[in-house]
Amino acid sequence: MRVQEEKTILKNKLEGIFVPHLTPFKRNGEIDEEALRACVQFWVKSGLHGLVVCGSNGEAPYLSREERKTVIGTVIDEVNGKVPVIAGTGSMSTWETIMLTNDAKDLGVDAALVVTPFYFKLANREIYEHYKTILEAVDLPLILYSVPKFTGFHLDLSVISQLASEYENVVGVKDSGGNMSRITQVIGSVGDRMSVLAGTGGLALPTLLLGGKGAVIAVANVIPTVCVNMYEAFERRDYEKASKLQRHITCVNEILMRYGQVSAIKAALTLLGLPGGYPRKPALPLGKKEEHEFERLLKPMLKPS
């Protein structure tokens, strides 16, 4: 299947640092569109190479179909073509994933990030058929998404390789397994056919050094400029500078993960004077004691590097 001509450009531009950004909610659980727009402005101005809306950090599993459309449409409007916008459209069923991917395409996204189906344990042939059906139903660049800490399993390398060889609109894979050995294998197997992107903050630079094309990392919500500067230092072959910035990224990322990732990112944005908003229940904001400890640890790390 051939992708639309205007979208083929993305295959050569799926490089750099992308932020899988949060979705701000009001205290009552409603989407805070004004807060979302303010955060989008911050991320775009920080020089990030693209935004990923309705991913894991966007609390996509807690959003209805109409809410996803609202969030994606708001981001597309606010970005206004300045950088690519990728939408997370994965779901538990093939049918729903196709529906959500079509919605995202109609709203004007540049690509879809599709997580492996979760809940039921599926065989590799079922995972392959899932992606194959989506690729043949929706003419949109697609990024495979392996995130075992949420789904319980890695996307098998044989499935990635088969899809990469059969479909030119499979433009990338985001590996959030946190295993450098596996990422090395993925790059060696399909790195010449698609962009391999780190999905964990601590492995952004190592992935680049081994031939990956960039990263889609939660920490870029909070220190986007540091992440971009690290990538640019790598591009200049200033590996000493890139390594220093990677250490900073890793430290901030570890703090965010320690305090619950999504709720911690929202608390961090508040420290930056941005409207991160509330998480959606059942997730809760940091408690008072956690908030105090979190601020003490993170605030010194938010200074420009």
Does 82 qualify as catalytic in the annotation? no
Residue among 162, 105, 103, 156 nearest 132 (CA): 162
- CA pair distance 61, 58, nearest whole angstrom: 9
- CA pair distance 87, 89, nearest whole angstrom: 6
- CA pair distance 257, 176, nearest whole angstrom: 13
The whole-angstrom distance between residue 279's C-alpha and the CA centroid of its chain comes to 17
Residue among 242, 199, 234 nearest 217 (CA): 199
Does 145 qualify as catalytic in the annotation? yes
- In the three-class reduction of DSSP (H, G, I as helix; E, B as strand; rest coil), residue 18 is classed as strand
DSSP structural state of residue 216: E
| Contact criterion met (CB below 8 Å) for 113 and 141 | no
Interhelix angle 65-79/33-45, nearest 10 degrees: 40
- CA pair distance 227, 205, nearest whole angstrom: 10
What are the E-state strand segments in 77-235?
Answer: 85-88, 111-115, 142-146, 170-175, 195-198, 214-216
Catalytic residue from among 131, 145, 231, 278: 145
Longest dimension (CA), the chain: 54
- CA pair distance 145, 285, nearest whole angstrom: 27
- CA pair distance 121, 232, nearest whole angstrom: 40
Catalytic residue from among 7, 11, 69, 174: 174
In angstroms, how far is the first alpha carbon of the chain from the final one? 44
Q: Which residues are catalytic?
A: 145, 174
